[in-house]
């Protein structure tokens, strides 16, 4: 068995596979299927300062090789998360990453401050949600605003800070460098790509929000390209995601430069996907006689 453990910003992960924010809730439904301790970590559903009911339905639809969603950050708010969900998650023997979002910089700062007083292992600041009217991707699509929100949240917490980047930009490396200079300890990418699906019979968009974020296998090569570019542009660890659905996808993402991976939409078609991905990575590494998964990080040999 290969050594799958990775260390990101001083935090030890038993393996590099993490269910992505928004597809795993707080793990409660999944722990009926497998022990959460099998996972490298868990990125929790994006938490805002107060409860949000999200956008109107329909807000999820299938597309070729993936899905499009406009959930709009439905969540019970930071106090509920800290009082009710976090204590349960902290007993699961896996790394807990609290994903946070806000309509304003001050909201994100306040959430980070509250989390700083908890035992949560890491904070993932989402500056890339395409489905909210205020904040969200607006923070992540200009270097100035990305840098500003990162430096303000940085001041509010000593926890390792991951900043989650939007692919809906001209140059993801410029944004990555901006958040690195503002104190991010790591970047994660990619969030969903803004898309649209129209029902040609009703001539209506299938999502009530008209547009939504694309995820799943359809976006995998795009995510690999962005992770590769970003890993070559910054000196902080990159957590790669976007369309990963197999152990081989995870290996490819790590060869592109990811130190760990997150798995999103694939969990909706197969709730066991993260566990299968861990097993498949192990098998592949063993078949190549590679002793540690760290050996493959950034190992792509470009032409
Ligand atoms: C239904 C749904 C909800 C999501 N909610 C969040 C969220 O709350 N915060 C966040 O940072 N990303 C959220 N995401 C984005 C995912 O974490 C991930 O970045 C994206 O889906 C790409 O990965 P995938 O192709 O493996 O799904 C959500 C994605 C989906 C499909």
Q: Kindly report, residue by residue over 265-282, the tens digit of the pLDDT.
A: 999 999 999 999 999 999
For ligand 1, atom 18, which residue shows the shortest CA distance? 191
Two tokens, residue 249: 């996808």
Q: Is the pLDDT assigned to residue 260 strictly greater than 90?
A: yes
> 49, 79 in Cβ contact below 8 A?
no
CB of 153 closer than 6 A to ligand 1? Answer: no
Q: Is the pLDDT assigned to residue 132 strictly greater than 90?
A: no
Q: To the nearest whole number, what is the mean pLDDT of the chain? A: 97
- Please determine, looking at this structure, whether the domain spanning 6-50+73-192+216-296 carries the CATH number 3.20.20.70: yes
Q: Is the pLDDT assigned to residue 36 strictly greater than 90?
A: yes
CB of 45 closer than 6 A to ligand 1? Answer: yes
Task: Give residue 101's pLDDT.
Answer: 96
CA dihedral of residues 196, 197, 199, 200 (deg, nearest 10): 80
CB of 281 closer than 6 A to ligand 1? Answer: no
At 168, is the pLDDT very low, low, confident or very high (cuts 50, 70, 90)? very high
Task: Give residue 52's pLDDT.
Answer: 96
Residue 216 CA to ligand 1 center (angstroms) comes to 10
Task: Give residue 218's pLDDT.
Answer: 98
CB of 59 closer than 6 A to ligand 1? Answer: no
Instruction: Parse the chain into domains and list their residue ranges.
Output: 6-50+73-192+216-296
Burial of residue 13 (number of CB atoms within 10 Å: 0-12, 13-18, 19+): buried
Percent share of the chain, pLDDT over 90 = 96
Two tokens, residue 214: 């694309």
CA proximity to 54, closest of 70, 72, 75? 72
Distance separating alpha carbons of residues 19 and 273, to the nearest angstrom? 9
Q: Is the pLDDT assigned to residue 134 strictly greater than 80?
A: no
Q: What distance, in Å, lies between the first and last C-alpha atoms of the chain?
A: 31
Percent share of the chain, pLDDT over 70 = 99
Distance separating alpha carbons of residues 264 and 45, to the nearest angstrom? 11
CB of 239 closer than 6 A to ligand 1? Answer: no
At 136, is the pLDDT very low, low, confident or very high (cuts 50, 70, 90)? confident
For ligand 1, atom 31, which residue shows the shortest CA distance? 265
Two tokens, residue 270: 């197969």
Distance separating alpha carbons of residues 263 and 243, to the nearest angstrom? 7
Task: Give residue 102's pLDDT.
Answer: 95
Task: Give residue 246's pLDDT.
Answer: 98
Residue with the two structure tokens 């902290």:
90
Task: Give residue 130's pLDDT.
Answer: 74
129 has catalytic annotation: yes
Q: Which residue is catalytic, options 9, 108, 129, 143?
A: 129
CA dihedral of residues 194, 274, 162, 255 (deg, nearest 10): -90
Burial of residue 91 (number of CB atoms within 10 Å: 0-12, 13-18, 19+): exposed
For ligand 1, atom 15, which residue shows the shortest CA distance? 191
CA proximity to 273, closest of 10, 13, 39? 39
Residue 241 CA to ligand 1 center (angstroms) comes to 9
| Average pLDDT score over residue span 178-192 | 98
């Amino acid at each position: 068995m290969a050594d799958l453990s990775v260390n990101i910003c001083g935090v030890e992960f038993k393996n590099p596979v993490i269910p992505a924010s928004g597809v795993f809730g707080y793990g409660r439904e999944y722990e009926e299927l497998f022990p959460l301790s099998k996972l490298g970590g868990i990125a929790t559903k994006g938490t805002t300062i107060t409860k949000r009911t999200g956008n109107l339905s329909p807000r999820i639809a299938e597309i070729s090789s993936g899905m499009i969603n406009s959930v709009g950050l439905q969540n019970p708010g930071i106090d509920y998360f800290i009082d009710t969900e976090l204590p349960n998650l902290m007993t699961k023997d896996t790394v807990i990453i609290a994903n946070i979002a806000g309509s304003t910089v001050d909201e994100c700062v306040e959430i980070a401050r509250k989390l700083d007083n908890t035992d949560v292992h890491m904070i993932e600041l989402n500056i890339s949600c395409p489905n909210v009217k205020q904040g969200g991707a607006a923070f992540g699509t200009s270097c100035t605003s990305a840098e500003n929100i990162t430096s303000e949240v940085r001041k509010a917490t000593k926890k390792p800070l991951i900043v989650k980047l939007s692919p809906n930009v001209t140059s993801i490396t410029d944004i990555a460098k901006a958040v690195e200079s503002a104190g991010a300890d790591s970047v994660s990418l990619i969030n969903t790509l803004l898309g649209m699906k129209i029902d040609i019979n009703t001539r209506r968009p299938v999502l009530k929000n008209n547009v939504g974020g694309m995820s799943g296998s359809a976006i995998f090569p795009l995510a690999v390209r962005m992770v590769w570019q970003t890993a070559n542009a910054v000196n902080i660890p990159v957590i790669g995601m976007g369309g990963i659905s197999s152990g081989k996808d995870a290996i490819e993402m790590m060869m592109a430069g990811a130190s760990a991976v997150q798995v999103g939409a694939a969990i909706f078609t197969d709730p066991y996907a993260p566990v299968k991905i861990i097993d498949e990575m192990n098998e592949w590494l063993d078949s190549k006689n590679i002793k540690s998964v760290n050996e493959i990080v950034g190992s792509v040999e470009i032409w």
